Structure 1
């Protein structure tokens, strides 16, 4: 077998596993409506085969897979905590309180503006755009259409609000994935996204304000809203004091408390609210942390929104993260990711063009792999070294992944997100796309800021030294593990 340094990975060979994975993904997701796990494993097998034929030992290929998984471990731990916090906040009545007060804001002329804000608040609270669109979004569609507002406009406002919350919520799986695989502190990642996402939301809200003025004379059918409000009041203790729980997490973020302790405290506070305020017994509250919250209210919309959460609900995301990182880890180990990036870097030479290329690559992955998670995971591994070589802080990469990946997925009709929205809101992506204003303004803002050099953060000398120390220690641990020894310091 050759030394790694002597093995050249041609670009055309490097893209074969990617093309095979994309083709398998298209067939599996679009034709058979399956999960992306198996296509990723098929691409992994092709990458491993090509690497072995070029001279890589199986032990080295296997180590690449393990390295990929190790990189994902911080994200996986936070995703598990997120499942627990969702369950505890649902059981504690915290989410119910947010929805209750949000639904009281509905007025005809401000309907598009209001439904966007409500969807944003709910998704910030639960971390899932799909759950928000499938519940509050469906209700909003019915109310909006009854006012004579075009379905495409309503859907666009619902999607903009839902994806703002999905992108900015510390409970969102995509937010945690982007932070985790790039090695960025979760709350640093969220704060860095403010610069591109808040302007996008502001543009969307202004547009919805002016679009909605033409419907000011419409009447509101409050029956559906009142039914939801009544159901929430009869099944939960609704109190503005419960809003202190998410406020406490926000304060901890502002005080730079690390993500895991902050989320763990959020879990505990939600659990206490479940037992002491909502009157749940201790056993049910404990089980909720693993199995998720379960309730039967007789209102299908409320049941769909509230029956979720828990560690078990995150296992799909955890398993997909592991499989995707095995794929990326092997492609990185045998030089495929570097061969692909080298071609891109011939054009993207500056820091700004590199960030813009990352945004574009995430959108391209959405359009080809048809899966939102892959648009974060794959470019995240592809560009990690390029960002490091330019001494760019990892939060630039994590933000670009979300600006190009998370936010654009609903705009692709054959992406899992586009398919879900079509089935849920009954509006085709090509129809709602002009009104999903946040979803296309954010990537444009991100690319413009990159080329203008605005809010591009570099690592300090201290951060570079700390990163090099961690990498050197990890290399020692990897070498020791391969030889059966133990690193003690």
Structure 2
């Protein structure tokens, strides 16, 4: 006779203890002990596994949940390695130096931050990927900003504000497709639901970056800019032809071709440009795809911005993402976020409280799930019942989940987006996070307008029978019987 065990949801106290231990590890390792975040995530696995076993799960099922979480996010790992290769070969091929060179000549310091946000948003809108936009236009704008004397964290904030806005408004974006499909909303309806608040937030953020840009315009030493331009011209063959690989990659991404092969092809073009345009030894050019590019120009700025790239520079980030994805899979299996969501449910009685609870749930999905996809999958599943119960259309759900999940993903140092953006832009997550102004403005505008009843779409509330069916479905998923 088979022995049956009831698998329970964790209590609030159990969740607080488990997640408290993880947060204490994460913050102490990164801020106090100078230990890698990878170790905190590694230890965190066993904290959640211990909780899962106490709740009735068996170890094999928990291990399977962790490996499933990793498998679901391996596409991000492949893209991360491809972008590392792209950065290395594009620096070796003179592509990134050329963009920085012409940018320093053309962009006035007073409008630099605004221009950065606009250029990155257009790149992300056309390609449908914030990662691709940050890995191409973002890197170039970081170099230009450093040449103009703009603080790197502030430039990174403008880059990410543009990248995430364009990504959210693009029907090509994976996160847009995921958030809408998980909420049972058509993609264009989802984008239309986000558009009014996103545009208001974009305008406000643009004004903020313009005002700050004028502040820095007077302090820029143009003689230093001229010396950087001269040194760049001495180290590399600067030619408008170097824009060709950029255009090719952006066009291929805009045609919705898969990111991994397109970015890898861009890396190949970088190798060709390094050999044919820069006259580099073929073996050194190929090696730039793996090892960081090395240059000693005598100009500190140039060496700092260009000694980077290669797949090997991304291996630490790969480890974080793998551990983070597994951690998110364990949290989903054990039911931690479901318990948190039930706390919010008791206080949800209006459009405003719906927005707050959904955004908070999505943010916690990033913090404890360590990946944006975890947040965008779990948040609609957890919060949908409240929208149906109160009579609000699902496109409000998809919008709030998108804003809470995507716009905050780059703020968490151990999330996939936080690790990627910090690695690719060369700025620590906690340093650039305060300057992600579009994210903060957008979330504030969403909450305020929701409480005011603006940009909120109603529908007939779900019947008690429909809600009972939803509860039964949820019970079946969280109280599974195992032999």
Aligned to 2:125: none
Q: Distance in 2 between matches of 1:5 and 1:195?
A: 47
In structure 1, how many angstroms separate the alpha carbons of the residues matched to 2:21 and 2:45?
A: 10
Runs of 5+ in structure 1 lacking a partner? 145-153, 171-175, 410-414, 456-489
How many residue pairs end up in the alignment? 417
CA 1:318–1:166: 2 relative to 1, 3 Å: farther
CA deviation map 1:74-94 (0-9, x unaligned): 111111111111112212211
CA RMSD of aligned residues (A): 4.8
1:113 Cα deviation after fit: 2.0
Tell me, what secondary structure is at the counterpart of 1:7?
Answer: coil
Q: Distance in 2 between matches of 1:46 and 1:303?
A: 42
In the alignment, which of 403, 406, 420 is matched to residue 402 of structure 1? Answer: 406
Normalising by structure 1, report the TM-score. Answer: 0.68
> Which residue does the alignment assign to 1:11?
12
CA distance in 1, matches of 2:244, 2:456: 35
The 3-state SS of whatever aligns with 2:408 is helix
Mapped to 2, the partners of 1:197 and 1:266 lie a distance apart of 31
> Separation in 1 of the partners of 2:410 and 2:77?
18
Superposition pairs of residues 347-366 of structure 1, within 5 angstroms:
347=347, 356-361=356-361
Correspondences of 1:11-30 after superposition (within 5 Å) = 11-30=12-31
Q: Is the 8 A contact 2:235 2:297 kept in 1?
A: yes
Contact 2:365–2:379 under 8 Å retained in 1 = no
Deviations 1:260-317 (A, max 9, x none): 2322322222222222222222211211111132222111211111111111111111
Equivalent position of 1:276 in the other structure? 276
For structure 2, the 5+ residue unaligned runs are 121-130, 168-172, 182-186, 388-393, 458-483
Match of 1:440 in 2: 440
**Match of residue 104 from structure 1:** 105
Q: Distance in 2 between matches of 1:196 and 1:93?
A: 39
Deviation at 1:22, TM superposition (A): 0.7
Q: Look up the match of 2:379.
A: 383
Provide TM-score, normalisation by structure 2: 0.69
Please list the CA deviations of residues 292-348 of structure 1 after superposition, one character each: whole Å capped at 9, or x if unmatched. Answer: 322221112111111111111111111111111222212222222322233334445
Distance (Å, rounded) in 2 between the aligned partners of 1:341 and 1:196: 25
Cα distance change, pair 353–51 in 1 and its aligned pair in 2 (3 A):
same
**For the Cα contact (< 8 Å) 1:91–1:271, is it kept in 2?**
yes
Find 2:115's aligned residue among 117, 131, 135. Answer: 117
Deviations 1:104-152 (A, max 9, x none): 1354xxx34225535876994646979976x6555444xx7xxxxxxxx
Contact 2:52 / 2:62 at 8 angstroms: preserved in 1?
A: yes
Matched, 1:72 2:70: no
In 2, Cα distance between equivalents of 1:449 and 1:249: 39
